Chain A
Amino acid sequence: MNPTLSPLNPPSAAATNAVFIRRSLTLSLRNTESLLMAIILPVMLMLLFTYVFGGAIAPGGDYANYVVPGIILLCAGYGAATTAVDVSTDMTNGIIDRFRTMPIRSLSVVTGHVAASLARNLVATGVVIGVALLVGFRPNGTFVEWVAALGVIVLFILTLTWLYAAIGLVAGSPSAASGYGFILLFLPYLSSAFVPIDTMPDWLRGVARHQPITPLIETIRGLLLGTPVGDNAWIGAVWCAGLILIALVWCGAAFRKRAGRR
């Protein structure tokens, strides 16, 4: 042990991110209950909407095709919500102080959780699509359209996860983070995910039309099922870009503020 300045150079931002992404992925894999839910939930929701609600909503029997994009986003919402709890757990545990006294950009710990959320939710999306194909989902998208749809899904997951990360940073405890997180989970129900907007009362249509989920759902539907996409693609992209920007700024501010308080 040498009582002089340590000769080690701080790791690069990329190396730091890689370490934190690996950490969050490992933690995700070891949190068995949460991982199991991330896989069972999509299956249950897919079956619930197709067989329980499907008959009433679309007596013609084509509800699986209509509802798949909605279920994908709904599941992504549940999966991303875990991020709020994970981030809050790190912030209330002594480990964040250790990271913050190391010569690294400690906000990277949040980046790690976001990357893990993306991975978890893509698995869940795969499960949804698999089950959907079994219960009557018949997409007709080309390879390029599938890639584009996947891009939209990734964008949505990232947007939501960064918002949840910010919630995790401002929440006082992991259970509070979990509670606040529920608010965002209602958004898919107030969109064209499960029923066409035209069937809603007038006052609700405005809300349903002017929120980020509807254009994203319509874009995915268009890409996979050939319905008209129209302006939805860029409206959805603008929503996501705007929300990610807000979430990032919010995360940065919340992280610094939280730091000063402790």
Chain B
Amino acid sequence: MKLAIEVKGLRKSFGGQTVLGGVDISVAEGEIYALLGPNGAGKTTLINILTTLVPADGGSARIAGYDVASEGGKVKQSISLTGQFAAVDEMLTAEENLRMMCRLSGMTAAESKRRTEELLRRFDLSGAARKRVKTFSGGMRRRVDLAISLVASRPVLFLDEPTTGLDTVSRRALWDIIAELKASGMTIFLTTQYLEEADQLADRIGVVNGGRIVAEGTAAELKARVGGEVIELTSEREQWSRTVATTGSVQDIGRVLNALAPTLPPDTQVTIRRPSMDDVFIALTHQTSEVSVS
């Protein structure tokens, strides 16, 4: 298996504050890897290092086999980045933005025109091609942004919080596009703070907190780490709810319920369900007592 992204012991501090404290990640070619974590966990810093924007303090990172620190030029020819903020010229039209990026990728005027038309069609932007991006909705802007990233067909795509701030419909549309890109063989590294997004899109998920990968695996594996079944207790009258992880065995669930019953409000209802990514996230990043029952 060839690795598209190989990160070993990556460290970065800003002014004495450690942002990345030794990160190891391997992403195979054609895989979608989601880096999941709360704000300030170091997600964007990691993307910035992997895309050559910021130098690391220690450790190494290779993209498509090229070292990020010493072979930046080759790395840049292997990647494209869609950053957290839509990187488009608002005063230019969608078409002009795309053509400019085609030219900057080394295409001739004729190639740029053809590729631009192709991408406008593919991203359902043909109707708005001649309108300034300034007038676009958030979802359309994101589509222009993503279209620009695909101008030069680079093998590795970085998406920094691609759906933050989008409505549900736009988010789903973007997910479909990302799934299509994966089907075409692209390696995609994305960051997100939405569990559902990581769950839906990623082959593997790395949970990052405080500058470290605290857990890694498929969505199912991560859910399994939390336990077998989750008991959810809610009291409508008291506006109160609590989740408790269990091993999933009848004995364990019974034990938990027996132990808690005397302390619960009289109208408490119980639901038993599979753990969601939210449970995983809270368990791995906050270590609250709610999810770890002895």
Could you list which residues of chain A lie within 8 angstroms of chain B, going by C-beta atoms?
1-6, 8-11, 15-16, 19, 22-23, 26-27, 30-31, 93-95, 97-104, 259-260, 262
Contact = CB atoms under 8 A, between A and B. Distances in A.
B52 A101 contact: yes
Nearest to B77: A103
A3 B29 contact: yes
Given A23-B92, A94-B86, A101-B80, A4 B155 contact: yes
Given A97-B53, A100-B52, A101-B52, A27 B91 contact: yes
Given A94-B83, A94-B87, A1 B104 contact: no
Contact of B185 (A2, A8, A23, A98): A2
A260 B54 contact: yes
A3 B52 contact: no
Contacts of B77: 5-6, 8, 10, 103
A94 B91 contact: no
A94 B92 contact: no
Interface in B154-201: 154-155, 181, 184-187
A101 B76 contact: yes
A103 B186 contact: no
B100 interface: yes
B155 A19 contact: no
Contacts of B103: 11, 15, 19
Given A97-B48, A97-B81, A103-B76, 7 more contacts: A3-B184, A16-B104, A19-B100, A30-B132, A94-B84, A101-B51, A102-B104
Interface of B: 29-30, 48, 51-55, 64, 73-74, 76-81, 83-89, 91-92, 96, 100-101, 103-107, 132, 148, 150, 152-155, 181, 184-187
A19 B53 contact: no
B30 A3 contact: yes
A1 B153 contact: yes
Contacts of A11: 103-106
20 contacts: A3-B185, A5-B74, A5-B78, A8-B77, A8-B105, A8-B106, A9-B106, A19-B104, A27-B91, A30-B92, A94-B84, A94-B86, A95-B88, A97-B53, A97-B87, A98-B81, A102-B101, A102-B105, A259-B54, A262-B48
A26 B79 contact: no
Nearest to B44: A262
Nearest to B111: A8
- Report the 7 A-B pairs with minimum CB-CB distance, sorted nearest first: A94-B85, A94-B87, A1-B184, A98-B87, A3-B185, A103-B76, A8-B106
Nearest to B185: A3
A99 B104 contact: yes
Contact of A262 (B54, B76, B81, B88): B54
Contact of A5 (B51, B101, B148, B155): B155
A26 B96 contact: yes
Contact of A101 (B79, B89, B185): B79
Contact of B89 (A4, A6, A8, A95): A95
